Structure 1
């Protein structure tokens, strides 16, 4: 007798045993069973026994947020801090990121590419803007207010 013959002979009785076992599991508890069925009475606490949760305290703001940074092309409101203006002469170098240009440690934010590009020597007036965000990862952001090739 091969193992296939043995499996064929055991499959019928094994299947019948599984059906009986599963039917017994779904029948629920009957009197005399060692495991009683779960009770249907509620054991949840009544609203009078639940301790009240105090409301979360409200906190008054202690400081105001600073205004959002200004767009480089937006004129500043009157009375705003006057930005630092510097005159710089030097050779424009490329930054570590593509498209970033530096002049003597300043990141040229709005560099006109027809006038200012890598390797050209320029004299420029810059408005230093450390409040600007850049992906160039180096240099202090500055906007060119005027530039002249040398």
Structure 2
């Protein structure tokens, strides 16, 4: 192998090692939680190193604690209201495309849930049974979310 080829390979290997070192340094800085202390960096790089055993990382206490004020992860999509509510009125188109609203007793409700679109549509007089879900997120951005469990034509 000639000297020039050998030098190019050494430079390429050095560049690869340098890039890997920079990546490891960036990951270590992210894992340090931004405190920048030497102790945190040493702990993070020791647990991130390939020679550390999986049990080394799991024997440390977790800094994350359970918060009693937060709902369990599996309950975030459940309606907040426990009792069934019935509202009646004329369905209107919301300000966002595809969104429906209904005004009942001075409150505007965003209409969500599984319902028959031949019964619930803009302009229809309906009676809706369901629950209010004030924690629901939606792109409609209008009204108090009302999750329909049953819909019928108002008579």
Normalised by the length of structure 1, the TM-score is 0.50
Structure showing greater Rg: 1
- Greater fraction of residues in helix: 2
TM-score, normalised via structure 2 length: 0.48
